[in-house]
Structure 1
Amino acid sequence: MDMLEQKHVSLLEEAERRGQPGLGNMRLCFEVLSLASAIDRSCAVRLAEHNLSEGKFVLLFLLRDLPEGLAPHELAERAGVTRATITGLLDGLERDGYLARHHDAKDRRKISVRLSVKGQTLADQLFDEHSRWIASLFAALDAQERALLGGLLQRVWRTLDNPAADSDVKETGITP
């Protein structure tokens, strides 16, 4: 079974046709990208059963243990999205009855976003369910394999942080 998405297969075929070096490294990169895409798709399907996107789910779990809520700009910062994006996500969650915006009694310009009972219930259920699913993705690996994979992925991350190292990577994948 080829784990690669068709676009990656096509790119590899073209690179091979052109005699590009590092085909093994390219294939490995595309395998990682394909796995990440497959995980994202599976996550989206699981969340869609609850009429949620990943962005909405993130907001539910950010608010889960905060009965006093958070201001929209704080939610945007913690979720890593723009203020414009947060508005759309909050509108959808509010429309579905998962949260409400509350104005400060002393300063009506201040808004706090809080989960409703329905939102809290869903957040509790989904957080546990989603955590178990994520943990299950690598359950076939033992502790040593997970540590090895984690270390290897960190080495690739360091290559991204140091673009000059890109030119030093050999077909073996070992950086100097």
Structure 2
Amino acid sequence: MLELKDLPTTGVLNKFAERYPDADITAISSFLHLLRVATDLSIALDTCLSKHGLLQGRWWVLILLMREDSCTSTPSELADKAGVTRATMTGLIDGLEQSGLVERVYNKSDRRSVQIHLTDAGQAKLDVVMPDYYQRLRLCMQGLNETQREHMHQMLDLINLGIPELIKQK
């Protein structure tokens, strides 16, 4: 992932706006700042999880399984919920299975039908990771009070509504 470490100054953005009159300086600056913070958060999460021998993708699969009452799901459901391809999910499941954190459970009457189950070792891993994650997350967000957090949710929801405009074909 490319990390934009050097955000443009207002002067640089104004220079771009002279060349590209449709450039909205505050929109560009806000967007780039949000992208920078999101990248930093993702890197920080990777750092936290790596201390526990996990990567984000594998961790999310464990979380998704733990959310299920039976701690079981199909690979396709996991892929849909994680927003990855089925091939990517297969790779994530393979790694988790090799580590003993999940197991494939095949249907006895149809071996093509498989469920992914969170093992006791997978739950034990989460029981170690999650308290550390929650403590770090609390410290990361401590600069915002409850009202500010709610406002942040509202602002992010508004930005999310605009994402289709960023990807739509002209």
TM-score exceeds 0.5: yes
Find the counterpart in structure 2 of residue 26 from structure 1. Answer: 28
> What runs of 5+ residues in structure 2 fail to find an aligned partner?
none
- 2:129 corresponds to 1:126: yes
Identity %: 25
Find the counterpart in structure 1 of residue 8 from structure 2. Answer: 9
Largest Rg, 1 or 2: 1
User: What's the TM-score, normalizing by structure 1?
Assistant: 0.76
Does the CA-based 8 Å contact 1:76-1:83 persist in structure 2? yes
Higher alpha-carbon deviation: 85-94 or 112-121 = 112-121
How many residue pairs get aligned? The number is 158
> What runs of 5+ residues in structure 1 fail to find an aligned partner?
164-176
Give CA-to-partner distance per residue, 1:71-121, whole Å, 9 cap, x none: 212221222211100110011111112111121222222212112221110
RMSD: 2.5
Letter in 2 for 1:146: R
**Residues 149 and 70 of structure 1: CA distance in aligned 2, closer, same or farther (over 3 Å):** closer
Does the CA-based 8 Å contact 2:52-2:129 persist in structure 1? no
User: What's the TM-score, normalizing by structure 2?
Assistant: 0.78
**Residues 160 and 106 of structure 1: CA distance in aligned 2, closer, same or farther (over 3 Å):** closer
Offset at residue 44 of structure 1 (A): 0.6
**Residues 95 and 123 of structure 1: CA distance in aligned 2, closer, same or farther (over 3 Å):** same
Higher alpha-carbon deviation: 38-47 or 104-113 = 104-113
Q: 1 or 2 for the larger relative contact order (CA 8 Å, sep ≥6)?
A: 1
